[in-house]
Chain A
Amino acid sequence: MPDVPDSPAAADSLVRIRGLRFLRGTRVIFDGVDLDIPRGRVTAVMGPSGTGKTTLLRLIGGQLRPAAGSVVLDGHEVPALRRRELYALRRRIGMLFQSGALFTDLSVFENVAFPLREHYPRLPARLLRTLVLMKLEAVGLRGARDLKPAELSGGMARRVALARAIALDPMLMLYDEPFTGQDPISMGVLVQLIRTLNDALGMTSVVVSHDVAEVCSIADYVYLISGGRVVASGTPAELRASGSDWVGQFMHGLPDGPVPFHYPARDYASELLDGGGRS
């Protein structure tokens, strides 16, 4: 097995990514990424904006195909799956989208009921109701079941989306930037929920984010991605103590360092003296 040194449970990983290469047009997003998502743990994937963290989730879920490399999920080579097999696999994956992706024409209850109704059309109404209420109770929104998505706050919408994502009791939960745009209270709630749901339901979770403090408080293992590669990985404590300048800058949120504050540009003085004749 190639170079993923300190990966905690490489032997028992639910997702195993090797030599992943992905291009968008001619832009290289991933170039030789190796990653292991250990079973039963919360794994975080962090990195600056625009490094393709969301793309990584879509590659795991089979919504995108890599140019090269392998993505193995629970023994299935995802890019090679046929449509039917892929859909069967996705029934066991939950994904929380950054926008929540709630169906705006359906109530909270119907949103959570949606995957159950689609996949188990013969489910008795009473059982369906019980299941939906259980999922809503888990995220603390049983009382909001009759509201429409437009009536929910951002944090509540994301919790409803979370209830919907766990409706089919997935083995793997993918979180796409779950903390973006949340106030401190909903942020705390979500952080708690991700950890509690993972442990209580025996899931495996992947959290993609750049909120260092929140992620480090719940993640068992962290991968840092930048420039299309994994630049560092380890437990949150290991990364904080890392000797690398770049990792230090990212983990501690410093404005300047190996990643410069300024976007590459001409010399400042000569540009100002130029007088704007040419821009």
Chain B
Amino acid sequence: MIAALGRWALTVFARTGRASLMLLAILAGLPSVLPRPRLLVRQLYSVGVLSLPIIVVAGLFVGMVLALQGYTTLADFGAAGSLGTVVALSLVRELGPVVAALLYAGRAGSALTAEIALMKATEQLSGMEMMAVDPVRRVLAPRFLAGILAVPLLAAIFTAVGILGGYLVGVGLLGVDDGAWWAQMQAKVQPLRDVVNGVVLKSFVFGVVANWIAVFEGHDAQPTSEGIGRATTRSVVNTSLAVLGLDFVLTALLFGGVR
């Protein structure tokens, strides 16, 4: 029992160490991506553009549900006019960054992990090394960079579409006043405090974590079919847990004193 616990702890520390070293190597390799924008654009397309459908559809429904749920409570207090503010603040501060990151992990992070792990299993990464091409710079760095650019953009789109979904239900279906919806939202949602801290900063942190985990799990996978499957699962599970855990920490830091 104690031995098993010790083994587990050693594995965790060893993996953390390998992951940190890999992150350093990737960061050192980032400058080499810049002169080759085509590598970056291709990855942006596959992790960003191809994630758009799920992000847009999910954002729309999350916004619609928020409006439905919020309206019941607010109408009791005669504050249905604040519905726009409630929907917007929830999305901008919390749901946008968090749900977008979770969806990203499922849609793009898992694909990144599986792709890199399969390249490893089929000796493509090894082959690159022997051709004197560093796979960290050629394969991992462009994917990582594309990922951390994509996540905040996806979160912003998710949030915008969510507000639109809330508007459709709140104003279109439940009869909240159109002017009150937008005016209160404009008055209460602050660009720096809410938008920058939420969609921009949180998403950036989530993007770094999600892509770091995805790339690391792929690169660290056992080069077997079972290993690839396990790495893909771990990538999604670990990213989800990390995003939710970090969200609490970030919220406490950024919005802890906000009333």
A contacts, CB < 8 Å to B: 61, 63, 87-88, 90-91, 93-95, 97-99, 101-104, 114-115, 118-119, 161, 164, 168, 174
Q: How far does the alpha carbon of A161 sit from the alpha carbon of B127 in the complex, in Å?
A: 10
Interface size on B, residues (CB 8 A): 12
B130 close to A95 (CB less than 8 A): yes
Other A-B pairs, 12, CB within 8 Å; known A118-B133, A164-B131: A63-B126, A63-B129, A87-B132, A91-B131, A93-B130, A94-B130, A98-B123, A101-B126, A103-B124, A115-B133, A161-B127, A168-B131
Q: What residues of chain A lie closer than 8 Å to B230, measured between beta carbons?
A: none
A115 close to B131 (CB less than 8 A): yes
Shortest Cβ distance from residue B209 to the other chain A in the assembled complex, whole angstroms: 27
Within 8 A of A (CB), among B111-151: 122-124, 126-127, 129-134, 138
The DSSP consensus for interface residues of chain A is mixed
Shortest Cβ distance from residue B111 to the other chain A in the assembled complex, whole angstroms: 13
B contacts, CB < 8 Å to A: 122-124, 126-127, 129-134, 138
B122 close to A99 (CB less than 8 A): yes
Q: Which residue in A98, A119, A161, A174 is a CB contact (below 8 Å) of B132?
A: A119
A90 close to B130 (CB less than 8 A): yes
A118 close to B124 (CB less than 8 A): no
> Given the interface contacts A104-B122, A118-B138, does A97 sit within 8 Å of B132 by beta carbon?
no
Q: Please give me the residue from chain A that is nearest to B137 by CB atom.
A: A118
Q: How far does the alpha carbon of A101 sit from the alpha carbon of B123 in the complex, in Å?
A: 5
- List 25 A–B pairs whose Cβ atoms lie within 8 Å, in order of A's numbering: A61-B130, A63-B126, A63-B129, A63-B130, A90-B132, A93-B130, A95-B127, A97-B123, A97-B127, A99-B123, A101-B122, A101-B123, A101-B126, A101-B127, A103-B124, A104-B122, A115-B131, A115-B132, A115-B133, A118-B133, A118-B138, A119-B133, A164-B131, A168-B131, A174-B130
